[in-house]
Amino acid sequence: MSYGPKLAAALSGATLRQLAHWRKAAPGRGAVLVPEISTVRPVLYSFRDVVALRTCVKLRSDASLQKIRRALDTLREELRERDHLSEYRLAADGSSIYLVAPEQAVDLVRRKANIVIHQMVDVLRPFYRDGRHIPDLLQPRDHVTVDPAVRGGVPVIEGTRVPYDEVAALLRDGVPAERISDYYPSVTATAARDAADFADYVDSYESPREPREAAAG
């Protein structure tokens, strides 16, 4: 399974402009995140990419993009950590960015070891970004789930293999939520409404006009 930029943005909380900006290397620095599956049209992200993107969005709330790029360069070039970005726990506190290990961390900006981290935020859990509620990655709606082992991670109706967008498309075509079970017997009316609500949320990321400053962050 792969995620197009719109769905990757919706699941991570990044804007489409940010995704495009983060795919590009800056002068003297590497890219923030290069999609695993495809870097050319159609650009396609993996599930691991989405997890990493959520980390970047969380970091961006407390650190500049310049610091993030500097921290990632330290991680990759100086510490020689070359695994996928989703494999690392990173945190920011407003002054720096840290690679977190049990009970301590390495300051990736100021290159100091053994920094104590008292609290970590699970990037899979819901959070707010610029006033927008970014849902839980594995359960973006009560009856919509994301599991890499089910259809490769495409969001589906909970307990089924039915993609959320197929259900949402039926509702948009005028099929009442109570009649969705005629097409998908395992999908309740409540689950169908959740699928439609999530589809509306995903579609909210396709606006072509996003603030210019988002491109820098």
Please tell me the predicted confidence (pLDDT) of residue 213: 42
Q: Could you tell me if 112 and 106 are in contact, meaning their C-beta atoms sit under 8 angstroms apart?
A: yes
Name the nearest CA neighbour of 170 among 145, 194, 143, 196: 196
Tens place of pLDDT for every residue, the chain, 217 residues?
799 999 999 999 999 999 999 999 888 888 999 999 999 999 999 999 999 999 999 999 889 999 999 999 999 999 899 899 999 999 888 788 999 876 677 899 987 665 554 444 578 899 998 889 999 999 999 999 999 999 999 999 999 999 999 999 999 999 999 999 999 999 999 999 999 999 999 999 986 554 544 444 5
Q: What is the pTM of this model?
A: 0.86
The end-to-end CA distance of the chain, in Å, is 27
The torsion of the CA quartet 58, 132, 166, 38, rounded to 10 degrees, works out to: -40
